[in-house]
Amino acid sequence: MKKNKEKKEKNKSKNGLMHGIKTEMKKVKWPSFKEIVKYTIATVAVCVIIALFFQLLNVLISLIKGAF
C-alpha cells in the first residue's frame, strides 16, 4: 500500500514538473531571425575589437621590452 502511494506521488511530481516546463516555455519570447542576426553581428564585432586591442597591446609591450 505504501509503495503504491509513493509511486503515485512520484508520477504526480514528474507530471507537474513537465506541465510547469510547458507553461513556462509558452511564456518565452523567442527572438526573431532579424534580432538573431543583429546580436550575432554585434557579438562578432565586439570580439574583433577586443582581439585587436590585445594585439595592439602585445605589440606595444614587445616594442617597449625590446627597447631595453
The pTM is what? 0.58
Rounded-to-integer distance, Cα 39 and Cα 45, Å: 10
* Mean pLDDT calculated for residue range 24-38: 95
* Mean pLDDT calculated for residue range 17-25: 91
Rounded-to-integer distance, Cα 27 and Cα 53, Å: 40
Domain boundaries defined on the chain: 1-29, 31-68
Average model confidence (pLDDT) across the chain: 87
The C-alpha cell that represents 55 in the structure block = 594585439
Does the pLDDT at position 6 exceed 70? no
The C-alpha cell that represents 33 in the structure block = 531571425
